[in-house]
């Protein structure tokens, strides 16, 4: 890095340098101390490191390079050392508002690395690397709830695998991404895979695409040389009554000369349990990687990560935490969180349009509260919030009962015990069994639960008729947590 002396040599007045200055190396000049040639003790003692005598004079001055303007040369020379002041967000600026909305859009793919999915990305990438190194086919199944970053992560893996193969000097694998929602029928997937390999023969038209692939991967001469990464998104659309398409797809990786690295993606977590036993018996059981729902900290980190390049303080910290907590408690869906954040920005934008004199500011807790209400408050949640206190407690007891066990039904007697426990914990007097039974009948008439028939009231079968998450969210809204 050039010193200030060398950087300003052309800009300073022309003068004859002293012999000492001319003969002193630059590395020594940076460390000049009082008593050295060409400097007086007083001048060196009161001169900052950035101030220096002009050539040929003893005058001490501040060079123009150290101007305080952010557009000055100081930013160029000391950009790594002096942090630029963070600009304030102007929500009325159309360009800034557009940039914020674009960063929060679910369709926007982050240009930098993904966050909060390091473990999952590492497992999938190591699997793909092993297949490419050994030139061996393999299959992997990625499952998780909607909005957990499955598709985005696998697309990043595809790019990372290509870069890794180039660095290692290996042949870059081809790739094919198929979204099963776009298929006219389930068997069409084999035609798409065959078309990507581009290895059809003239006499093979009588065979189906699946049969052509099986024939291709069974013969060393006809098998393709290059590996192929096949990404099948929304794989649960391939489920048929006999699951034949799903099984045939995974079995392509077991052919002796197969070059397929198959990665299936689906929202159904239990899909693996339903088809894995059969695949295991066919010796083509895939590696399973589960993407868990995002926690509140992960949701907050991802939103901050998306906005960090903008250098604006868009959200009040409390508002962002409020959003992260609500979404994590309801579903952990990152797409939902981004939608809520974008909606909160639009709430702020609307308020500024209605009140032109209002002071500029960031998205606050109140803006986020309005956005969350729009996103989550359904007719069911509103109905629960309008119920009397004891009927709400009955629903809470029913939700708690099904939360701690996998069964989908209970008895009126068991539900009454759970209800009494909630009454004790909240210090609310419980009603008697007869009144409790009448409350359950009212809730059944309103469609919240279903009551079966029995000679004894306590043995009547009770099933929940609404989504348990609606009950959970309703009570979180009620408590403000």
- Could you report the per-residue pLDDT of 263-313, keeping only the tens digit for each? 999 987 667 667 777 788 888 889 999 999 999 999 999 999 999 888 778
pLDDT at position 453 is 86
Lowest-confidence region among 87-96, 193-202, 361-370, 426-435: 193-202
More confident residue, 301 or 11: 301
Q: Which tokens sit at 152?
A: 């985005």
**DSSP string across 57-71:** S--EE--GGG-S-TT
Q: Is the pLDDT of residue 255 over 90?
A: yes
pLDDT at position 277 is 77
Half-sphere exposure of 217 (CA within 13 A, CB side): 25
User: CATH 1.10.10.10 residue ranges in the chain?
Assistant: 381-478
Confidence of residue 242 (pLDDT cuts 50, 70, 90): confident
Q: Which tokens sit at 70?
A: 């952010």
More confident residue, 246 or 46: 246
Neighbours of 344 (CB within 10 A): 29
Lowest-confidence region among 26-35, 84-93, 286-295, 406-415: 26-35
pLDDT at position 405 is 63
pLDDT at position 205 is 62
Report whether CATH 1.10.10.10 matches the domain 381-478: yes
Of 210, 250, 244, 214, which is closest to residue 230 (Cα–Cα)?
250
Kind and range of the H or E run holding 21 = helix 19-23
pLDDT at position 406 is 58
Neighbouring-strand partners of residue 228: 174, 260
Q: Looking at beta carbons, which pairs linking 86-94 to residues 24 or more positions away fall under 8 Å? A: 86/311, 86/312, 86/313, 87/311, 87/312, 88/312, 88/313, 88/360, 89/312, 89/313, 89/314, 89/360, 89/362, 90/360, 91/345, 91/348, 91/349, 91/352, 91/360, 91/361, 92/352, 92/360
Of 320, 372, 390, which is closest to residue 480 (Cα–Cα)?
372
Confidence of residue 365 (pLDDT cuts 50, 70, 90): very high
More confident residue, 157 or 84: 157
* Range with the largest mean pLDDT of 16-30, 86-100, 165-179: 165-179
Contact between residue 436 and residue 397 where contact means Cβ atoms under 8 Å apart: no
Structure-token match 């308020």, residue found: 351
Mean pLDDT for the chain overall: 80
- pLDDT > 90 in the chain, percent: 44
E strands in 282-428:
287-291, 409-411
Distance between CA atoms of 447 and 380, rounded to whole angstroms?
10
User: CATH 1.10.8 residue ranges in the chain?
Assistant: 296-376
More confident residue, 202 or 396: 396
Structure-token match 């009570």, residue found: 475
pTM above 0.85, yes or no: no
Stretch 153-157: mean pLDDT, rounded? Answer: 94
DSSP 330: H
Measured between alpha carbons, how far is residue 84 from residues 87, 88, 91 in Å?
9, 12, 21
**Which CATH code of 1.10.8, 1.10.10, 2.30.30, 1.10.3210 fits the domain covering 296-376?**
1.10.8
In this structure, CATH architecture of domain 117-195+208-291: 3-Layer(aba) Sandwich (3.40)
Distance between CA atoms of 291 and 211, rounded to whole angstroms?
34
- pLDDT > 70 in the chain, percent: 77
Give tens-digit pLDDT for 54-103: 444 444 444 444 444 444 444 443 444 344 445 678 898 999 999 999 99
User: CATH 3.40.50.300 residue ranges in the chain?
Assistant: 117-195+208-291
Q: Is the pLDDT of residue 180 over 80?
A: yes
Distance between CA atoms of 134 and 117, rounded to whole angstroms?
26
């Amino acid at each position: 890095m050039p010193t200030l002396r060398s950087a300003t040599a052309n800009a300073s007045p022309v003068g004859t340098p002293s012999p000492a200055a001319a003969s002193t190396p630059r590395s020594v000049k940076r460390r000049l101390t009082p008593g050295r040639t060409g400097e007086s003790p007083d001048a060196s003692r009161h001169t900052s490191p950035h101030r220096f005598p002009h050539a040929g004079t003893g005058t001490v001055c501040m060079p123009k390079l150290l101007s305080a303007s952010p557009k000055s040369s100081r930013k160029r020379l000391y950009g790594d050392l002096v942090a630029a002041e963070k600009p304030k967000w102007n929500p009325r600026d159309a360009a800034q508002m557009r940039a914020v909305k674009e960063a929060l859009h679910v369709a926007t793919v982050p240009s930098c690395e993904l966050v909060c999915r390091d473990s999952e990305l590492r497992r999938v990438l190591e699997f793909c690397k092993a297949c490419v190194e050994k030139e061996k086919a393999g299959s992997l199944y990625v499952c998780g709830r909607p909005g957990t970053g499955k598709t985005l992560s696998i697309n990043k893996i595809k790019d990372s695998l290509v870069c890794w193969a180039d660095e290692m000097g290996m042949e870059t694998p081809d790739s094919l991404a198929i979204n099963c929602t776009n298929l006219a029928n389930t068997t069409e997937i084999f035609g798409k895979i065959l078309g990507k390999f581009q290895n059809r023969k003239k006499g093979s038209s009588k065979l189906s695409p699946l049969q052509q692939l099986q024939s291709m991967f069974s013969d060393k001469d006809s098998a393709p040389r290059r590996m192929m990464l096949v990404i099948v998104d929304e794989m649960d659309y391939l489920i048929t009554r006999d699951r034949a398409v799903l099984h045939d797809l995974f079995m392509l990786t077991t052919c002796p000369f197969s070059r397929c690295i198959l990665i299936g993606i689906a929202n159904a977590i239990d899909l693996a349990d339903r088809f894995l036993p059969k695949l295991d018996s066919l010796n083509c059981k895939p590696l399973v990687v589960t993407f868990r729902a995002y926690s509140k900290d992960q949701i907050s980190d991802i939103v901050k990560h998306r906005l960090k390049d903008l250098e604006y303080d868009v959200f009040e910290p409390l508002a962002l935490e409020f959003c992260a907590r609500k979404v994590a408690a309801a579903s952990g869906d990152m797409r939902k969180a981004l939608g809520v954040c974008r909606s909160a920005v639009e709430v702020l934008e609307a308020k500024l349009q209605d009140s032109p004199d209002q002071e500029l500011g960031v998205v606050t807790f109140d803006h986020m509260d309005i956005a969350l209400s729009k996103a989550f408050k359904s007719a069911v949640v509103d109905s629960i919030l309008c119920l009397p206190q004891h009927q709400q407690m009955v629903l809470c007891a029913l939700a708690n009962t099904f939360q701690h066990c996998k069964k989908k039904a209970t008895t009126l007697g068991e539900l009454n015990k759970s209800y009494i426990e909630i009454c004790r914990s909240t210090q609310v007097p419980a009603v008697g069994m007869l009144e409790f039974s009448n409350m359950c009948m009212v809730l059944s008439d309103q469609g919240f639960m279903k009551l079966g028939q029995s000679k004894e009231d306590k043995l009547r079968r009770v099933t929940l008729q609404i989504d348990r998450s609606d009950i959970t969210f309703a009570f979180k809204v009620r408590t403000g947590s």
